[in-house]
Chain A
Amino acid sequence: MIPQAFDYYAPTSVADALRLLRQHGDDAKLLAGGHSLLPIMKLRLSTPQCLIDLGRIAELRFIGEADDGSLAIGAMSTYHDIKNSALVQARVPALAEAAGEVGDVQVQNKGTIGGSLAHADPAGDFPALALALNFELVTATARSGRTIAIDRFFRDLLTTALRPNEILTEIHIPALPAGTGVSYQKLPNKASHYAVVGVAAAITVGDDGVCTEARIGVTGAGATAVRARNTERILKGKHIDAAVIRRAAKRAAANIEDLNDDLHASAEYREHLTTVFAARAIEEALSRAG
């Protein structure tokens, strides 16, 4: 469990980090909390020549409000920060809750929201929440930067829309419309405590009890976290009752090609779990809506 030798840089500003990234190109990896990267380096499955540690960049670790009223979270904010933030607890309590469900205390103390999203582990918890909560991902490059919609972010197994010269700097979570409830439900892998399957649901219900918006994110089931669009379609525009939930949840795995099939769960079981946790997440989100 000793990684191959590497150079280590610990810049204190995003500008310096970008400069190092340009300098080292493909030889460099960005280090956030390190809970995904360091284990694979110790196994020598990943052998970067150089690590650029983002951990000392103060400007990447904050939780506040963006100009447009969305919740803004610095990419290097830890799960612990998110779980304990009064602002997150007030604005998106389900996110604070989920942060407290990730891994264990050590993981929560070191793991970061930005690291989780950029690493795009197919069984990570936050990717599902990111899809349900419609995260906007703010990045920086040497020239400028951009905002990436979460729906365009997860591309493939451990692959995102981030370019090699780009650093994820902050996450914006748009203010939830009135009448929105959010829930994240998962079956944890008993060994790693990653999600075997996890489903996040954000459901908005109007005064008339009709569902006006539904975003469902599924993690663990396929190569990337995905939205369960079939499920969302069935929910929208309806009074959601048990029958609707059943029908909608049944379709939660419908658009996932190549369900994961491994030591921890067969594809068949994952498909089933997706429907179970979709139903549970919708049920609880609904109970929190309005």
Chain B
Amino acid sequence: MIAGQVSKLIGSRVKRKEDPRLITGEGKYTDDVILPGMAYFAVLRSPYAHARINSIDTSAAADHPDVLGVMTGAEINDRCSEPFPLFAILPGMQYPERWPMAATKANYVGEPIAAVAASSRAAARDALDLIEVDYDPLPVVTDMETAGDADTPVIFEEMGTNLCYEASDQAGDPDRAFAEADGVVEARMEQPRLIPNPMEPRAAVAEYERSSGNATLWVTTQNPHIERMVAAKMLGMPENKLRVIAIDVGGGFGCKINTYSESIIAVVLAQEIGRPVKWAEDRTEHFVATSHGRGQAQYVQAAYKKDGTLLGMKLKIYADLGAYAQVISHVIPTLTPSLAPGVYSCRDIGWTTIGVFTNKIPYDAYRGAGRPEAAYIIERVMDLIADATGKDPVAVRRKNFIPKDSFPYETPTGMIYDSADYDAALDKALDIAGYDDLRAEQKAARKDGKLMGIGVTVTTEVCGFGPAAAMGGLGGFESATVRVDPMGKVTVLTGASPHGQGEETSFAQIVADDLGVPFEDVEIIHGDTSIVARGVGTFGSRTLVVGGTAILKANEQIKEKATRIATALLENKLEDTLDPQLVTLEDGLFSVQDMPDQYVTWADVGSEAYDGQLLPPEEQPGLEAVSFWEPPGLTFPFSAHIAVVEIDQDTGEVSLKRYVSVDDCGTVINPTLVEGQIHGGLAQGIGQALLEQAVWDDEGQLVSGSLMDYAMPFAQEFPMFELDRTVTPSPVNPLGAKGIGEMATISATPTVANAVIDALSHLGVTHVDIPMTAERIWRVLQTHGRRRRGGRS
């Protein structure tokens, strides 16, 4: 048990050991890979959202002097033994087969049509312009709410519908709750689609050895082992002949979970031309080639009592899956009703989740994946009830909290919340914000005709995935190999594949404390399927919780064997036999009880483990342990956030004045890493509330197709974030950790939305959709009347 133990490194602000490498350009990203004889490829993408492909003429491209090979979609697909596999198939779900490329019909703008390999990146790009494709444009489906209607064109004729699934269920008795209610609030809420935009766009490099049939794929992935499993299946290769490497990956946020067409194309082209090939997405390509996130229309009704009690909810959720389902993307919308009760005791909930296909790039997990959508619903509902009952939003929340003595708590939707104390987090946030003073300030501001708003949320989310049952066939475990070498230094191989989270540091902290070795003596290796034991990967804020625990489990084996070896060494030293129970490891020294001067070090033990001359006959050499660990349950971090905004009533511009973020992720290994996750998470969540949205026209063209048109926040738009935390360890893993990768993103969007709506509430405004752009707010002000400007002329 680490939780509660007095430790040296866990909980301290150790500087990220990966940073010197990354900030001095010594990182090894996929696009840094250069192989002898390497060629480059480029991908021709559909300019139409929906079009039949009549013919493709690649002859001019093939004649280009620098071109080494051109392959059409049909040719690439023919080389695959099966389409993209899907995991966690939902009951009654219908879905189209998806192959790496469009062969006869393109179903979204950006779908791969053909690929060209050439001796330079520029030549490959030039050759794309020489490919002639004859298309017949088809009717386009872009609206998720009407996609399933009988008179909407069907994208996949073989399915006969655009409906992937429509799943209705309920917990408790929502009809009774609504019958007993004093009132009902309702709203239609939009979750626009978002474009992930990690710092590093995607890339793939493939090398194929004809003599052995072995292939190596360097790729920007969050989960190399899943990538290998999927790609090997599709390519008809045994897994042990495909090596996937992802050493440094510059962010993912979910969009690098999927195995993309380019991985398959890369291997096939390398086989075809007999040279290694590289593809690297540029930012503009990223907008149409890499999965988007969010994208829901939510119809929400909530029944309440006059005292502010939430009695029940009825939800209808449309999810825009885009043209295809991928990996487990179709499951993401189902997380929304599962988490809809949030931190509240509401027991009666009915829901319908409708996943539809449209002519858009597929959507997938994006930081939060289904939970931000849920937190948004319930936290808006709390404010709607506060508004309807005339109560303070804080009071309404407290009234409905799941009491702190009810954990573990099973929600009506079947989630088992591990541990929490929502009042404690809220108290802290209110205290930091000076909530009562803020309300007084708001009152005064309104008197002066100014628009100031305060948003409060208390949210939870689910992470730390598995166990296996929660993973739909991907596996719910993580692996760790811990190796002590003859110098007593430690190498850890983790199956989780961090891509910016800093686990090279936090894992080393755990190992250093647990084994009593210096932090500097621990090396963390990840992201290579030929080196690292099978793992699952980094997503759903699982890496520390699951991967960190796997390391502790491997350490247990290491410590046991090391203690036996130390006993042998001490016996030799003392020329006496010792009860192994009397040899203990403390501060990195193995010593005999009551004889602190008689000790051996990790170097002594490591050396003997391989030298082996003093090992007892029943002991085999080596000091290495592999452990696979699957958690018994999920973790539920939680948070209380407060935002303060001001609105310029002339322009509708929202400015964020303060942001208080109190987060509880259980045991904190490294506060700096946790704060980094919160800062980045807040930026993304606030961006969603105020700025970000993917916009399509009726033809299915992405209008917001570049960073000149798709607004992401700049640091200068934020105040200094005010961070604090409570610590409620999780009982489901020995670290007591809960995961912090997504919490702040999930909370920030409804917090800022609530603040903006609060600023307008005295004008009769109860809901405004995100993103709350200046024009959108200005329009609200036009329809709800403006108060006289105060102070200025």
Contact = CB atoms under 8 A, between A and B. Distances in A.
A39 B121 CA distance: 18
Contacts of A273: 651
Given A245-B793, A272-B778, A276-B651, A5 B707 contact: no
A276 B284 CA distance: 34
A276 B650 contact: yes
A191 B651 contact: no
Contacts of A187: 651, 653, 774
A46 interface: no
Interface stretch (B626-634, B677-685, B708-716, B762-770): B708-716
B646 to A, nearest CB: 15
B691 A190 contact: yes
B775 A269 contact: yes
A191 B711 contact: yes
Contact of B793 (A5, A242, A266, A269): A242
B122 interface: yes
B282 interface: yes
A255 interface: no
Contacts of B711: 189-191
B704 A1 contact: no
Contacts of A192: 707-709
B775 A1 contact: no
Interface in B269-293: 282-285
B697 to A, nearest CB: 10
Nearest to A279: B650
Contacts of A283: 793
Contacts of B778: 269, 272
B125 interface: yes
B8 to A, nearest CB: 41
Interface residues of A, number: 25
Interface string A269-285: 10011001000000100
Contacts of A242: 793
A90 interface: no
A279 to B, nearest CB: 8
B793 A2 contact: no
A43 interface: yes
Contact of B126 (A1, A4, A191, A272): A4
Contact of A2 (B125, B650, B707, B773): B125
A149 interface: no
B287 to A, nearest CB: 12
Given A192-B708, A272-B778, A263 B284 contact: no
B780 to A, nearest CB: 12
Contacts of A263: 695, 703-704, 709
B122 A5 contact: yes
Interface string A66-95: 000000000000000000000000000000
A41 interface: no
Contacts of A2: 121-122, 125-126
Contacts of A264: 709
A169 B779 CA distance: 44
A289 interface: no
Contacts of B121: 2
B400 to A, nearest CB: 35
Nearest to A245: B793
Contacts of B129: 44
Given A263-B703, A266-B775, A191 B653 contact: no
Contacts of B707: 191-192
A43 B774 CA distance: 29
A265 interface: yes
Interface string B770-793: 000111001100000000000001
A185 to B, nearest CB: 10
Interface in A1-48: 1-2, 4-5, 39, 42-44
A5 B282 CA distance: 18
B651 A1 contact: no
Contacts of A5: 122, 126
A245 B792 CA distance: 12
Contacts of A276: 650-651
B718 to A, nearest CB: 13
Interface string B597-634: 00000000000000000000000000000000000000
B548 to A, nearest CB: 38
Contacts of B122: 2, 5
A1 B773 CA distance: 29
Interface in A190-212: 190-192
A45 to B, nearest CB: 11
Interface in B528-571: none
Contact of B282 (A1, A44, A104): A1
A97 B122 CA distance: 40
A65 B284 CA distance: 43
Contact of B284 (A43, A190, A272): A43
A39 B703 CA distance: 17
B358 to A, nearest CB: 19
B284 A191 contact: no
Nearest to B687: A190
Interface in B689-725: 690-691, 695, 703-704, 707-714
Contacts of A190: 690-691, 711, 713, 773
Nearest to B652: A269
B788 to A, nearest CB: 13
Contacts of B282: 1
A263 B773 CA distance: 11
Nearest to A43: B284
B701 to A, nearest CB: 11
Given A104-B714, A189-B711, A191-B709, 12 more contacts: A2-B125, A2-B126, A190-B711, A191-B708, A191-B712, A192-B709, A263-B703, A266-B775, A269-B778, A273-B651, A276-B651, A283-B793
Interface of B: 121-122, 125-126, 129, 282-285, 650-651, 653, 690-691, 695, 703-704, 707-714, 773-775, 778-779, 793
9 contacts: A1-B282, A4-B126, A5-B122, A187-B653, A190-B691, A190-B711, A191-B708, A263-B703, A269-B779
Q: Which 7 A-B pairs have the closest CB atoms?
A: A242-B793, A190-B711, A191-B711, A1-B282, A192-B708, A2-B125, A276-B650
